[in-house]
Structure 1
Amino acid sequence: MKLHSTIAYLLVGVTTCTAFPAEDSARAIAGFVTPKITWTGQVKPGEDSVSITGTAQEIYKRIIEINPNYDNELGLNSNQSTIATRGLEPIKKRATTSDDWTCAYGNDVNAESIGEGVRYLYRIVNADCSAPPGSPGAGGCSVSSCNSGAGIFLCNDSSNTAHIPCTIIADNAVEVLINCQRTTYNGGNTWTTVTHGQIFSNDHSWNVILNKC
C-alpha cells in the first residue's frame, strides 16, 4: 500500500531499530496507563486556550460542542491546519518521525480501528497532547485513542511532562501501522488487517505504541 494513499484514506475516515525491552514497556502500560491525553489549544478564534482530557475522539467531540465551526476556523479544514498545508509527502522524510520502530512489541489490533484513532488525532490538529513524566522502560503513558480494543499510546520517557503535537502522534502511529501491518484472507471477499508495534522519537524522550487497550 502506498504511503500517500494510506494517509489520504485515514484523513477521509475508515469504514468498518532499537527499542526498550518489550516486557518493560508492557509493565509500563499495564501498571501506569490510567490517564487519557490532555489536549491544550484554541477552540474559538481570538479566545484563550483551553485544556480538555480524554481520548482523541472524546476531545474532538467536546471541541465541536464548544465550537461547531472548529474544523473550518482552526481545525483540519482551515488554512492554519498543518495537515492542509504540508501535503502528503512521505512520513519517513519528515523530522517528526524516526526509523527507530519495532514490530516486536505489542499484541495484534485491528488496523482499521487504529486508522479511526489516527483520523481523530489529525482532527485535533492545532494543539499539543501530553503524557505524564516517566523513565526509560517505564514511561508515563497516556491513552490517546482507544477504538474497539485498539489503542494508540503516547509514552513519555523523560522526567518532565511531554507536550507533543497531536498530529505528530498521528504521524508516528501511521508509521507503525504501515510498517507492521499484516493481512489475513478470511475466505470469500473478506480480509482482516492487524498491526502492533512501537516507535521512538529521535531523542528517545517519548514513544508511540500501538497495542490493545
Structure 2
Amino acid sequence: MRGSSVKFNMKLLSTITNLLLGVTTSAAFPAENSARTINDLVTSKITWTGQVKPGEAVLSITGTAEEIYKQIIQINPNYDNELGLNSNQSTIARRGLEPIKKRATTSDDWTCTYGNNVNAESIGAGVRYLYSIANADCSAPPGSPGAGGCSVSSCNSGAGIWLCNDASNTVNIPCTIIADNAVEVLINCQTTTYNGDETWTSFTHGQIFSDDHTWNVILNQC
C-alpha cells in the first residue's frame, strides 16, 4: 500500500510540472457543481501597461493574457528576447515545481471552496501566458469587499484566472504576482483522477487573497 501511495505522489508531481510546462494530459471536464460563481462580479478583461519595445513609451493593452501577448508580438516580434522571458534582464522564468515552495508574492490565505471545477491543464496555459507578459502590471477596476471589481486575466477552454479588486481604486498588480498566486491555488486545490491507460485528469478551483486583502485571485469558470 505504501508503495502505491509513493507512486501516486510521484505521478501527481509529474502532472503538476507538465501543467506548467505545457505538456498535454487529458482535457475532459466534470459536470458543474453547486459552488458559487463569479458571474455577478465580472466587469472586464485586464489592462496591461508596460513597455513593448526598448526605449519607447509604455502602452496599455486590454484583453486576456493570451490576447495581450499576441498583440505585443505583432508590434514587436522580438519582444521575448528584448523585454520578455528570454531577455538578459528578465527575472522571470517559466516555473516548474518552484510554485510548491513558499514565495513572498503569495499568502497563506487561500480557500478551495470558492468556484466551480475547471480543467487544471487549461489554467496552466493561462499561467504561462501571464508569465509571458510579466515585465509589466495588470489592473482590475475598483470594487468593494465581497463585491470586487473583477477582470479576467486568462480564459482558456472555460477555465478562468480572475484578478478581483476589493479596494475603492484601480489596482495595478505585477502580472507575475497574479501568475504566482494562480499557481498557489492550482497546486493546493487540485484533484487528480486516474482514468486508466496511463491518463490522468486534473481539476482545480479556489481563491487566494493578498496579505492586505485589497485584491485576490480566483480560479473559476469563465
TM range (shorter): 0.7 to 0.9
The 5 A counterparts of 1:4-83 are 9=18, 12-15=21-24, 26=37, 29-83=38-92
What is the DSSP-based 3-state SS (H/G/I as helix, E as strand, rest coil) of the residue aligned with 2:168? coil
What is the DSSP-based 3-state SS (H/G/I as helix, E as strand, rest coil) of the residue aligned with 2:24? coil
Q: What code does the residue aligned with 2:155 have?
A: C
Evaluate the alpha carbon distance shift between residue 88 and residue 45 of structure 1 in structure 2; reply closer, same or farther with a 3 A threshold: farther
8 A contact 1:172–1:208 mirrored in 2: yes
8 A contact 2:17–2:96 mirrored in 1: no
1:187 corresponds to: 196
- Note the C-alpha offset of 1:188: 2.3
**TM-score scaled by length of structure 2:** 0.84
**TM-score scaled by length of structure 1:** 0.87
- Note the C-alpha offset of 1:31: 2.0
Evaluate the alpha carbon distance shift between residue 11 and residue 184 of structure 1 in structure 2; reply closer, same or farther with a 3 A threshold: closer
Give the greater-gyration-radius structure (CA): 2
Q: Quick one: distance in 2 between partners of 1:175 and 1:162?
A: 20
8 A contact 1:124–1:166 mirrored in 2: yes
Listed one character per residue, the Cα deviations across residues 72-114 of structure 1 (whole Å, up to 9, x for unaligned) are 0000111222214999755653221000000011110000000
1:106 corresponds to: 115
* Corresponding position: 1:96 with 2:109: no
- Note the C-alpha offset of 1:184: 1.2
From 125, 131, 145, give the equivalent of 1:122. Answer: 131
1:137 corresponds to: 146
What is the DSSP-based 3-state SS (H/G/I as helix, E as strand, rest coil) of the residue aligned with 1:167? helix
Quote the RMSD (CA, aligned, Å).
Answer: 2.5
Bigger share in helix: 1
8 A contact 2:100–2:187 mirrored in 1: no
Percentage of matched positions with identical amino acids: 82
What is the DSSP-based 3-state SS (H/G/I as helix, E as strand, rest coil) of the residue aligned with 2:212? coil
Q: Quick one: distance in 2 between partners of 1:202 and 1:48?
A: 32
Unmatched tracts of structure 2, length 5 or more:
1-8, 26-34
2:171 corresponds to: 162
